[in-house]
Structure 1
Amino acid sequence: MTAAAPVVGASTDTDTPRVNWTMLLLGFTGMVIGQFMAILDIQIVASSLPQIQSGVGASADEISWIQTAYLIPEVVMIPLSGYLSRLWGTQRVFLVSCTGFLLMSVATGLSTSIEAMIVCRALQGFVGGAMIPAVFAIAFTAFPGRHRVTATVVISLIVTLAPTIGPTLGGHLTEALSWHWLFFINVVPGALSLFLVARYGNFDKGDPSLAKGFDWWGLVLMATFLMSLQFVLEEGAKNDWFADDMILLLAVAAAICGPAFLWRSLAYRNPIVELRAFANRNFLIGTLLTFIVGAMLFGGSFLMPLFLSRVRDYSASEVGTTMVVSGLAMFLTAPFAGRLARIVDMRILMCGGFVMCAWGMWDAHAVTSEWGFWEFAGVQAIRGCGVMIAMIATNQITMSTLPPHMVKNASGLVNLSRNVGGAFGLAILNTSLTQNTALHMGELTQGIQQTHLGMQAMLAGMQERFAGSIDPAGAAMKAVYGMLQRQATTLAFGDAFALLAVACAIAAIMTLFARPSPVPAGPPLGDAH
């Protein structure tokens, strides 16, 4: 196939470059499809783990690695992809990444043992990780002027919708076909992505001279730091944190390799990750806010389904039906937020978005054991709108003030910040749920004595209900304990929602420290040539 001409002309450093819009939009569409697949596959297995466990004969401990194995190597590729894009060019890196992702998707779906599946999932996450930041970089280097906002809106939709609909789509696929199709479903959109990017995605050229003096020590330090950190965050809450020897060992490894990697990146002449972007105040603040967006996005998508299944005993399909409000709110907000981003100061949008997130989560902290679809609908609508507005504005203010040569590398750092923020958020929320459930259970049991007249009446009524059982008194006590446990769990979820609300309020205050970032003017789409 003859190589296509670059989609952006020689004047790429100006605000109004010569653009072949057909090639740019088709190539960008192909990349967006790939990005959607890579993000979707993080959560698509969440509601189908029991079926996968049965299919490959895995234990309860082993099956959790289906998600962990994907996430740990992915965090290494995300920052590494910036260097590879500068070395080989975005198109080549994306095509290699997408091809490897498709091959590993098929291999994962064909796996007959948990060991083979974990290896394939790890490789799938590693090679697929390069697709995610590549789309961000192209949005800020190939699109001129105001059209960057439109590209940012599309990216923000993908980043927010993919993890939101992942469990729902996965549950329906498994129910209608089988768990194998969680992975086989990538083949057709992946092939379309490959075709579009191969034919129309010649966005830039690589710089082969970067291969000289490749920083292997930097790569080893970065990989050890990020993989250790991700493992600690993913598995720490399950294993009682530092009481587990492996968690303690990897935490020490992360604590040593993290500073060593930073030193290496600052001292080496050709570092894998260029950290100079953090000298830009907007990029620094934007990266911190993206960290909180990650915790908010993944944390909210984690707490609500868990509450509905654990407290309300909802099925996977009922959870999916309830959670659809969040995705719908994000989808409807995106074009409105995109228009606002062209006329309103980005700092105002960021602040407003985070305030809405804080509002929604603070409303949810009053959750009761009777909450269902309609009670969560308002919470999800407010949170969904806030997340979309905050993400669009944060992406724009983080990247728009950077010089073009820093964008590819910075894109990897931004996406890494969001993923690590999500991991931190889930780890903190998991720990909070465990500790606060036990705390509230202690408070409830201490506050209700068996000598209390109301308690005695309740136990007597329960014993009458279980009169046909072998041990009516024991059955009555067990039922009361279950009621108290449910109430303690509900209170712990309220505390977790409050934690997210506080984090969003802090983020809203942080937006005030960003510098103004006006959207550059650009020609209307029909006038570009």
Structure 2
Amino acid sequence: MVFGIFMAILDIQIVASSLEQIQAGLSATADEITWVQTAYLVAEVVIIPLSGWLARAFSTRILFVLSCSGFTLMSLCCVFAWNLPSMVVFRAFQGVFGGAMIPTVFAVIYTLFPRHLQPAMVIVVGMVVMIAPTAGPVLGGYLTEVSSWKTLFLVNLVPGILVCLATWKFVRVDEPNWDLLDKIDFLGIVYIVIFLGSLQYVLEEGVREQWFESREIVFFSLVAALSGFAMFYRELTIEHPIVDLWAFRNRNFAVGCTLGFVLGIGLFTLMFLMPVYLASVKGLNSLQIGQYIMVTGLFQFLSAFVAGPLAKRIDSRLMLALGLSGFAFGCWINGNLTQESGYWEFFWPQAIRGFSLMFCFLPINSLALGTLPPDEVKNASGLYNLTRNLGGAIGLALANTLMTHLNKLHYAVLREHVTPGSPQAQTLLAGLRQRLAAAGAPDPETAALKQVYGLLMREAEVMTLNTLFHTLALIFALALLLMPWVSKVSAEAAEAAAGH
């Protein structure tokens, strides 16, 4: 099952790294091709909260096998996509099937394993959830380079079939509850699909469409607000809800979801910012970028051997505080880089963040899901994973918006210093003119001004990205204010709640 979710999470990033090649293959425009990713992410977010009800109705085994086989089949369909609309439809179904697998695995940790084995299983799943996005761009770039973009989907076929067969044969967690099919809240499902689908669309497309300057964004924002209100009212008042929102009455679960939301902001935003920094400022290719950002995954892997044993010896609250502080510190020093910064200046911030991740992930998971009764874990796991994904979607939307705004702001500030009265600016221009004239440039004056403009834009981008890294550091530092509401998850309490 863990291998199955590795495949599903990897697929998001592996495709993202090769959108240009897919765009050429499908004869799509730059704006149109983004729907290959948007369709997947919208569908994934919609299905995640429904996965708890589906697992109770069909059983964990049947749901996971259906999800994995559907994901594998849609991967094959993507290979044979004949135009952009067909690819978008196949990717949407792939998102539905892939999204159902992730919370199902988290639920199994807290229903199948006794308390003393749960931290080790959380580490295994946590490494997959966090390392797969790091490995995705590197693997995607490599496969596209040596073969074609269709290979990105073909690699899912054999592992997908093996996961389906192994899950069907070996997984025995629970039995189906077919009676739930007689009590399906169809209206609740419609509200959830419309609310989460509209919200994810707004967050994905808002920056590209200039937010509320676009009629589409205004329309879908209103749809999300109205359907969200209707969904909350119905799910909180109906006798057999599809998604039991009363789970948030459990303080541990509510605080765990809030911290999961913060973790989602950090993880997804950094996955976006680091490649942007390395590509646009440092001018690196996808393989070089992979060599830089793999440091986070490597240190996360190493921290698993420390965090696991430590979780049994120290207070989970102290462990969480160390994790949040370390992640904040890693982001802060990442925001002090320049265009001249080399590999090692990027190495240490990522190493600190990667090592801190398990110190966050382990206690947050235990806090959110570790003390719930087994019959509540499936529903709660869907909600918990949803909050992390929404944190990521909101973090990305804000980062994109702030990047556009701050680039203009920093450029305007820098431009004020490049004036005819500035000795430094005149010296720089004179040196560039002389060098370009010696190189045989037809118009050294214009070429020198263009180079100065490029330098200003690059430095504005460096300042912008550093500001965003510092902002992330502050968000994680502020998350420490939630510590008074974080309960210690003792082994005895969790054992009693889990019924072991």
What range is the shorter-chain TM-score in? over 0.9
Identity %: 44
Q: What letter corresponds to residue 485 of structure 2 in structure 1?
A: F
Pair 1:168-2:138 in alignment: yes
Asked whether the equivalents of residues 285 and 511 of structure 1 are also in contact (C-alpha less than 8 Å), the reply is: no
Q: Which runs of 5+ in 1 are unaligned?
A: 1-30, 524-529
2:475 to 497, 503, 517: 503
- 1:85 corresponding residue in structure 2: 55
Any unmatched runs of 5+ in structure 2? 496-500
Aligned partner of residue 174 in structure 2, secondary structure: coil
Question: Which of 153, 158, 176 is residue 188 of structure 1 equivalent to?
Answer: 158
- The answer to whether the Cα contact below 8 Å between 2:371 and 2:493 also exists between their aligned partners in 1 is no
Match of 2:5 among 21, 35, 42: 35
Partner of 2:268: 298
Query: Matched residues in 1 for 2:103 and 2:352: separation?
Result: 28
Give how far 1:521 is off. 9.4
CA contact (8 A) 1:170 1:182 kept: yes
Task: Return the offset for 1:33.
Answer: 0.9
Alignment-derived partner of residue 459 in structure 2: 487
Query: Residues 264 and 389 of structure 2 are in contact (CA less than 8 Å); yes or no, is this contact kept in structure 1?
Result: yes
Q: In the alignment, is residue 408 of structure 1 matched against residue 381 of structure 2?
A: no
CA offset digits 1:394-416 (Å, max 9, x no partner): 11111111111110000000111
Aligned residue in 1 for 2:168: 198
Q: Distance in 2 between matches of 1:335 and 1:322?
A: 23
Match of 1:3 in 2: none
In the alignment, the residues of structure 1 paired with residue 46 and residue 152 of structure 2 have an alpha-carbon distance, to the nearest angstrom, of 24
**Conserved? CA contact 2:370–2:494, under 8 Å:** no
Indicate the residue corresponding to 1:71 in structure 2: 41
Structure 1 position 220 matched with structure 2 position 190: yes
SS at match of 1:205: coil
**In 2 relative to 1, CA 367–445 (structure 1 residues): closer, same or farther, beyond 3 Å?**
same
1:383 pairs with 2:360: no
How many Å apart are 1:328 and its aligned residue? 0.3
Shift in Å, 1:520: 4.1
Task: From 58, 82, 103, give the equivalent of 2:28.
Answer: 58
- SS in structure 1 of the partner of residue 301 of structure 2: helix
The reply on whether 1:308 has 2:302 as its aligned counterpart is no
Please list the CA deviations of residues 346-380 of structure 1 after superposition, one character each: whole Å capped at 9, or x if unmatched.
11111110100000000011121122321111010
The 8 Å contact of residues 321 and 483 in structure 2, kept in 1 or not, is answered as: yes
Q: Is 1:289 the counterpart of 2:275 in the alignment?
A: no
1:108 and 2:78 are equivalent in the alignment: yes
- Residues 313-342 of structure 1: CA distance to partner in whole angstroms, max 9, x if unpaired? 100000001111111011111121111111
Paired residues of 1:229 and 1:254 also in contact (CA < 8 A): yes
Shift of 1:116: 1.3
> In structure 2, what is the Cα distance between the partners aligned to 1:509 and 1:309?
35
Q: Which deviations, in whole Å up to 9, do the C-alpha atoms of 1:186-232 show, x marking residues without a partner?
A: 11211121111100112101211112231111111111110111111
Of 245, 248, 261, which residue of structure 1 is paired with 2:218?
248
Q: How far apart are 1:514 and its partner, in Å?
A: 1.1
Contact 1:70–1:121 (CA<8 Å) still a contact in 2? yes
Alignment map for 1:445-484 (pairs within 5 Å): 445-467=415-437, 468-484=440-456
Report the AA paired with residue 96 of structure 2: F
RMSD over equivalenced CA pairs, Å:
1.4
Q: 1:276 aligns with which of 243, 246, 251?
A: 246
Distance (Å, rounded) in 1 between the aligned partners of 2:337 and 2:388: 27
Q: 2:95 aligns with which of 125, 133, 139?
A: 125
Cα distance in 2, alignment partners of residues 140 and 450 from structure 1:
68
1:469, distance to aligned residue in structure 2 (A): 2.7
Q: Is the contact made by 2:253 and 2:368 (CA closer than 8 Å) also made in structure 1? A: yes
TM-score (norm 1): 0.91
Task: Give SS of 2:5's match.
Answer: helix
| Structure 2 counterpart SS, 1:227 | helix
1:389-404 residue pairs with structure 2 within 5 A? 389-404=359-374
Cα contact 1:72–1:122 (8 A) shared by 2:
yes
CA contact (8 A) 2:281 2:458 kept: yes
Letter in 1 for 2:174: D
Q: What secondary structure does 1:94 align onto?
A: helix
Aligned-residue offset at 1:136:
0.5
Task: Output the amino acid matched with 1:180.
Answer: K
Q: Which 4+ stretches in 1 moved above 3 angstroms?
A: 520-523
Query: Separation in 1 of the partners of 2:337 and 2:484?
Result: 31
2:68 aligned to which of 94, 98, 118: 98
Deviates more, 1:435-444 or 1:460-469: 460-469
Q: Please give the alpha-carbon distance, in whole angstroms, between the structure 2 residues aligned to 1:312 and 1:145.
A: 47
Cα deviations across residues 416-467 of structure 1 (Å, max 9, x unaligned)? Answer: 1111111111111111111111100000111231222221222122222222
SS at match of 1:405: helix
**Matched residues in 2 for 1:457 and 1:495: separation?**
29
Contact 1:277 1:402 (8 Å CA) reproduced: no
1:78 is paired with a residue whose SS is helix
Deviates more, 1:132-141 or 1:364-373: 364-373
Please give the secondary structure, in 2, of the residue aligned with 1:368: coil
Deviations 1:47-70, CA, capped at 9 Å, x for gaps: 211111111111111111121111
Residue 309 of structure 2 corresponds to 339
Give the aligned partner of residue 9 of structure 1: none
2:402 aligned with 1:432: yes
SS state at 1:451 partner: coil
Partner of 2:498: none
In the aligned structure 2, how far is the partner of 1:38 from the partner of 1:78? 13
Q: Which amino acid aligns with 1:380?
A: Q
Q: Does 1:177 align with 2:147?
A: yes
Q: 1:323 aligns with which of 285, 293, 296?
A: 293
Offset, 1:169: 1.1
- Answer yes or no: is the 8 Å Cα contact 1:76–1:226 preserved in 2: yes
Residue 516 of structure 1 aligns with an amino acid whose one-letter code is: K
Q: Give the drift of 1:391.
A: 0.8
When residues 273 and 241 of structure 1 are mapped into structure 2, their CA distance, relative to the original with a 3 A threshold, is: same
CA distance in 2, matches of 1:103, 1:177: 21
Matched, 1:235 2:174: no
TM-score, normalization: structure 2?
Answer: 0.96
**For the residues of structure 2 that align with 1:392 and 1:63, how far apart are their CA atoms?**
37
Aligned counterparts of 2:484 and 2:166: Cα–Cα separation in 1: 41
Secondary structure of the residue aligned to 2:17 is: helix
For residues 521 and 393 of structure 1, the distance between their equivalents in structure 2, rounded to whole angstroms, comes to 14
Name the CA distance, whole Å, in 2 between partners of 1:57 and 1:112: 10
Deviation at 1:522, TM superposition (A): 11
Describe the SS at the equivalent of 2:123: helix
Q: Is 1:359 the counterpart of 2:329 in the alignment?
A: yes
